[in-house]
C-alpha cells in the first residue's frame, strides 16, 4: 500500500495522528499521543469496519524508559493491518467501554505487565489468579526472571459476579472435568432451567510460553510452536515461520508454497471432521459420531504416512518444508480424501434428514451479529453470525489468492449455522487439496533463510480451523527473541460463549460448547 492510499484512508483522523510509517507492505504503524487513542481507534473499528487482530505490550523501559502498547486492527478490504503504537509509563486509558473486544487484552496487560487501564469496566485479574499470585508480580516485565519461584500460599480471593433475585441459584462446573478435557471453570446463574448468566474462568493451564521465548534464538521457538495447541500445531508453526521469513525477506520456492497449503488444509479437514463427530455425540447419535471419528483416524494415518507424524509435526522449516511428495503419496492423498468425502456426504444427508437432531441444533446457542462484531470473533464463529472472517482471503498468503473456495457465511448464529460453516469448510479443504495436487509445480522445497533483521518486528498469521492465528515477533539487537506474542483464535472467541448460552438450558451447554470448539491450551499460553 502506498503512502497516498494510507493518507486517503486515514484522512478523517489525520490531524489526530503524530505520524505514520510502513513497517512492511501491509503493516501501517500509527503514532499518536494517548489523548487521541480512543478517537482514532473508534474510527478504525467502527467507521473503517476493522477488526481487533491483537494487542501487544512490550517492556521497553531499559531502552526508552517506558512500555509500548500496539493495537493491531485488521482492515481486510485493502489487505492492511493498522497498528496504533503508544508509549506509556504505568497507566493508559482503557478502550474496553467503546471496543468490547479489548476487554481481555487490557486485563492481560494489567496482569502481565502491571500497566493499569484506567476506567476499565472489569479489572479483576484474568490470568494471575489472586489465590496464587501476589499483586506486585508481573511476569512479562523484563526484570522478572523466568525461573522465579513464588511462595506457595493463598494471597487473595477472586470475586465472582453475583446475580441476585428470588429463585436464582448457581451451578458450578469445573475446573476439573469428568472427561479427558483441559481445565476451565463455568459458573451458571439460573432461575428455573434457563441460564441468566455464565461466567467463565480460564488460564488454569497457563504455561508461560511467551516468557520462556525471551532471549532465545528464532529457531529454538520451533520447539514450542507445535505445542501451543495440539490440534492446530501446523497452523501455529506456519504463522510463526512466516513472521521470521518476513523479517529476513526470505522468498520460499513455489513448490514449498503449494505443499504448505496442502498440509494446512489436511489439518483443517481433520479438525472439522472431528468437530462434526462431536456434535453428533452430544445429541446422542453415537453411530454418526463413531463414523466421523473413524474418518478423522483415516486422515491422521494419512498424515503419518506422508510426514511420519499424525499431526504433521516437523513438516515446516524456515525457507520451506521438510517433506516432499512423490506419485505414490499423491495417489494416497487423493484416495483418502475421496473416501472421506463419500462417507462425509452420507452422514451430512443423515444430519439434514433427522428432525430430532436438527431440533437440538436450530436456535440453540445463538450469538447475534452485533456481539460477534463487538468482540471481534473470528473463523466459523464469526461467519455463522454474518461477519466474514477468513485471513486466507482478507490477507492472502502462500497461494491462497490463486485458489477457488467459498468460505461461506450464514446469518442465524446458532449451533446449526456453526456446523454448516464447518461442513462448508470440509468441502473447501477437499477442493483446495485437489487443486494443489493438480497444479503442483516441480522444483525445490526449501531455500536458505536470509539474515534476520535485528531490532525489527512484524506479524505472522495463518488461518486455522477455528479462525485466524496472529503471531507478533520482535527481534533484539543480538538477533534473539525480544517479544513473542501469540494470539490463538480462542482468545477472541471465548468471550462469545457467555452470550451464546443466555436463555438456553444447562442441558444444551455441551452442544453450544462443542459448536464453538474453543481451545484451552491455545488460550492459556
* Residues of the binding site for Mg(2+): 210, 486
Note the Cα 250 to chain centre separation in Å: 25
DSSP tag of 415? H
Beta carbons of 456 and 474 less than 8 angstroms apart: yes
3-class SS of residue 123:
coil
Burial 245-284 (b: 16+ CB within 10 A, else e): bbbbebebbbbbbbbbbbbbbbbbbbbbbbbbbbbbbbbe
**Cα–Cα distance, 281 to 285 (Å, whole number):** 5
For the packed helices 327-352 and 254-282, what is the interaxial angle rounded to 10 degrees?
30
**Cα–Cα distance, 278 to 199 (Å, whole number):** 24
For the CA atoms of 339, 340, 343, 347, the dihedral, rounded to the nearest 10 degrees, stands at -170
Beta carbons of 33 and 19 less than 8 angstroms apart: no
Conformation bin of residue 213: beta by default, left when phi > 0, alpha when psi is -120 to 50: alpha
Half-sphere exposure of 10 (CA within 13 A, CB side): 28
Beta carbons of 364 and 508 less than 8 angstroms apart: yes
Beta carbons of 30 and 83 less than 8 angstroms apart: yes
Q: CA-based diameter of the chain, in Å?
A: 72
Beta carbons of 418 and 382 less than 8 angstroms apart: no
**Cα–Cα distance, 105 to 313 (Å, whole number):** 30
What length is written for the chain? 525
**E strand intervals along 254-400:** 316-317, 320-321
**Cα–Cα distance, 97 to 431 (Å, whole number):** 42
- Binding site feature residues: 210, 486
Least Cα distance to 62 among 406, 482, 510, 380 occurs for 482
What 334-337 contacts at long range (C-beta under 8 Å, 24+ apart), as own/partner pairs, is 334/434, 334/437, 336/298, 336/299, 336/302, 337/269, 337/430, 337/433, 337/434
**Cα–Cα distance, 202 to 395 (Å, whole number):** 30
Amino acid at each position: 500500500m502506498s503512502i497516498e492510499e494510507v493518507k486517503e484512508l486515514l484522512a478523517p483522523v489525520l490531524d489526530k495522528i503524530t505520524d505514520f510509517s510502513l513497517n512492511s507492505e501491509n503493516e501501517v504503524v500509527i503514532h499518536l499521543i494517548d489523548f487521541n487513542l480512543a478517537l482514532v481507534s473508534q474510527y478504525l473499528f467502527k467507521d473503517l469496519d476493522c477488526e481487533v487482530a491483537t494487542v501487544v505490550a512490550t517492556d521497553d523501559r531499559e531502552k526508552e524508559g517506558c512500555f509500548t502498547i500496539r493495537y493491531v486492527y485488521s482492515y481486510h478490504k485493502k489487505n492492511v493491518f493498522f497498528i496504533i503504537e503508544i508509549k506509556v509509563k504505568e497507566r493508559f486509558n482503557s478502550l474496553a467501554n467503546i471496543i468490547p473486544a479489548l476487554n481481555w487484552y487490557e486485563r492481560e496487560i494489567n496482569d502481565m505487565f502491571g500497566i493499569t487501564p484506567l476506567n476499565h469496566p472489569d479489572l479483576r485479574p484474568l490470568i494471575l489468579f489472586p489465590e496464587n499470585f501476589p499483586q506486585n508480580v508481573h511476569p512479562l516485565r523484563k526484570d522478572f526472571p523466568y525461573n522465579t519461584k513464588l511462595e506457595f500460599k493463598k494471597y487473595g480471593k477472586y470475586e465472582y459476579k453475583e446475580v441476585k433475585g428470588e429463585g436464582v441459584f448457581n451451578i458450578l462446573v469445573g475446573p476439573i472435568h469428568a472427561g479427558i478435557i483441559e481445565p476451565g471453570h463455568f459458573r451458571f446463574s439460573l432461575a428455573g432451567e434457563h441460564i441468566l448468566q455464565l461466567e467463565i474462568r480460564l488460564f488454569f493451564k497457563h504455561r508461560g510460553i511467551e516468557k520462556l521465548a525471551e532471549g532465545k534464538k528464532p529457531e529454538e521457538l520451533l520447539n514450542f510452536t507445535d505445542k501451543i495447541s495440539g490440534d492446530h500445531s501446523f497452523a501455529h508453526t506456519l504463522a510463526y515461520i512466516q513472521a521470521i521469513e518476513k523479517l529476513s525477506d526470505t522468498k520460499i520456492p513455489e513448490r514449498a508454497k503449494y505443499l504448505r497449503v496442502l498440509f494446512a488444509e489436511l489439518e483443517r479437514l481433520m479438525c472439522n471432521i472431528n468437530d462434526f463427530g462431536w456434535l453428533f455425540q452430544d445429541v446422542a447419535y453415537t453411530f454418526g459420531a463413531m463414523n466421523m471419528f473413524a474418518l478423522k483416524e483415516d486422515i491422521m494415518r494419512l498424515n503419518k504416512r506422508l510426514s511420519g507424524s499424525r499431526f504433521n509435526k516437523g513438516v515446516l522449516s524456515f525457507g520451506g518444508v521438510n517433506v516432499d511428495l512423490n506419485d505414490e503419496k499423491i495417489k494416497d492423498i487423493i484416495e483418502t480424501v475421496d473416501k472421506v468425502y463419500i462417507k462425509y456426504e452420507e452422514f451430512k444427508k443423515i444430519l439434514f434428514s433427522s428432525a430430532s437432531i436438527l431440533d437440538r441444533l436450530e436456535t440453540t446457542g445463538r450469538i447475534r451479529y452485533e456481539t460477534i462484531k463487538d468482540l471481534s470473533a473470528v473463523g466459523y464463529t464469526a461467519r455463522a453470525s454474518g461477519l466474514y472472517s477468513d485471513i486466507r482471503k482478507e490477507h492472502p498468503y502462500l497461494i491462497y489468492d490463486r485458489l477457488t473456495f467459498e468460505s461461506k457465511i450464514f446469518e442465524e448464529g446458532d449451533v446449526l449455522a456453526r456446523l454448516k460453516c464447518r461442513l462448508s469448510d470440509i468441502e473447501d479443504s477437499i477442493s483446495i487439496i485437489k487443486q494443489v495436487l493438480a497444479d503442483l509445480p516441480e522444483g525445490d522445497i526449501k531455500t536458505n533463510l536470509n539474515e534476520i533483521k535485528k531490532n525489527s518486528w512484524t506479524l505472522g498469521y495463518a488461518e486455522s480451523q477455528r479462525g485466524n492465528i496472529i503471531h507478533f515477533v520482535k527481534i533484539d539487537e543480538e538477533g534473539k527473541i525480544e517479544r513473542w506474542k501469540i494470539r490463538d483464535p480462542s482468545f477472541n472467541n471465548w468471550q462469545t460463549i457467555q452470550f451464546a448460552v443466555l436463555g438456553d438450558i444447562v442441558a444444551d451447554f455441551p452442544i453450544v460448547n462443542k459448536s464453538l470448539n474453543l481451545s484451552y491450551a491455545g488460550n492459556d499460553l
